[in-house]
Structure 1
Amino acid sequence: MSQIASKHKEQRIGVFVDVQNLYYSARALYKKKVNFKEVLQAAVADRKLIRAVAYVIKTDVFAKEKDFFGALEKFGYEVRAKDLQIFYGGAKKGDWDIGIAMDTIEFAPKLDTVVIVSGDGDFIPLVQHLKRAMSCKVELVAFKKSASSKLIEEADDFIDLEKDKKFLIS
């Protein structure tokens, strides 16, 4: 982390959540699910929330996902969904990296702080751009054990979801 970001009540923040990254990290590390309500509360930290977006991938079990997506909306997230891509031969792909990057850059002029909820090292250039070109503070929320150490280093502040059990659901 380059510096500790100061947090104050008037600070305008946007929270951008890579749901798949957190889901698979929690499942691999703890065999549990993420408490996205607690994640949002920790990310906001009594500041002025301008926007919270959860980026999800729709798969073939849409009935279960529909309830989950509805819960995310109740917690205060705008849910952006796209279909899982299945390629010839069975390979699957589903990520929102470019979409998250585009949205954070679009909203950065309206924000003091961008909170990226992901440990994906692909976001390193985005964090660098938001800080350098957009003059935003960037905070990261992720599980340290599965997060890119370079991404953590680039962020102004880091919340390690491993530090508190409230972020996990059995």
Structure 2
Amino acid sequence: MFNDEKLRNLYKNQRVAVFLDIQNLYYSARDAYNRKVNFEKVLSLVLNDRILLRAIAYLVKLQGVDQKGFINTLKHIGYQVRVKEPKIFKSTDEAGNIWTTIKADWDMGIAMDAISLAEKIDVAVLVSGDGDFTDLVRYLHTKGVKVEIAAFKLTAAKELIEVADEFIDLSSFGEDVFL
């Protein structure tokens, strides 16, 4: 039987990729706790002294907001930052009203990156509570990848928590995950 020290040493050799859904985490922290996220601390907590192969942060560009400082901070922390422009769709209803819809998410990009890295990692840490990732988790399991979900339990999709190998409730770390 393994004692705790042997298990710790075993886990320290795990090759980990972290996929950070910034919008999901940001809005979850804002809406549930009225707080901002300490992304550096989140990376440290989910990595847990294991081998980091890649940490990717996915950001949607906000119109009229200078995000250069934030992006530079994320890069300094150790994240590769991917930025996407939102898509704006305009439509008119039967009454002639013009509706604007903004579509901006990284679900497909996160899934593609996770799939492309699956052969090189032991653990994928998906920092998001978005239930749309449930099928991605199932797929990564077929490739032998352990999947950990890190999110705030209050806002995480139940089906995502259930399919994960491990759920890391970021709120359990208290003030450490907030700025």
Range into which the TM-score falls when normalised by the shorter chain = over 0.9
Q: Using the alignment, how far apart are the partners of 2:147 and 2:64 within structure 1?
A: 34
Q: Percent identity?
A: 48
SS class of match (1:109): helix
Q: Using the alignment, how far apart are the partners of 1:61 and 1:21 within structure 2?
A: 20
Instruction: State the partner residue of 2:115.
Output: 105
Instruction: State the partner residue of 1:68.
Output: 70
Q: Using the alignment, how far apart are the partners of 1:33 and 1:110 within structure 2?
A: 32
Q: After the TM superposition, which residues 1-170 of structure 1 pair with which residues of structure 2 at under 5 Å, given as runs?
A: 8-63=11-66, 65-88=67-90, 89-132=99-142, 134-164=143-173, 165-169=175-179
List structure 1 runs of 4+ shifted beyond 3 angstroms.
none
Flag structure 1 segments of 5+ consecutive residues without an equivalent: none
> How many Å apart are 1:20 and its aligned residue?
0.4
RCO (CA 8 Å, sep 6+): is it higher in 1 or 2? 1
SS class of match (2:46): helix
Q: Using the alignment, how far apart are the partners of 1:111 and 1:16 within structure 2?
A: 12
Larger Rg over CA atoms = 2
Q: Which amino acid aligns with 1:93?
A: K
User: What is the TM-score when the length of structure 2 is the normalising length?
Assistant: 0.88
**CA displacement, residues 48-73 of structure 1 (integer Å, 9 cap, x when unaligned):** 0000000000011342x111111111
How many pairs are equivalent? 163
Q: Which amino acid aligns with 1:113?
A: V
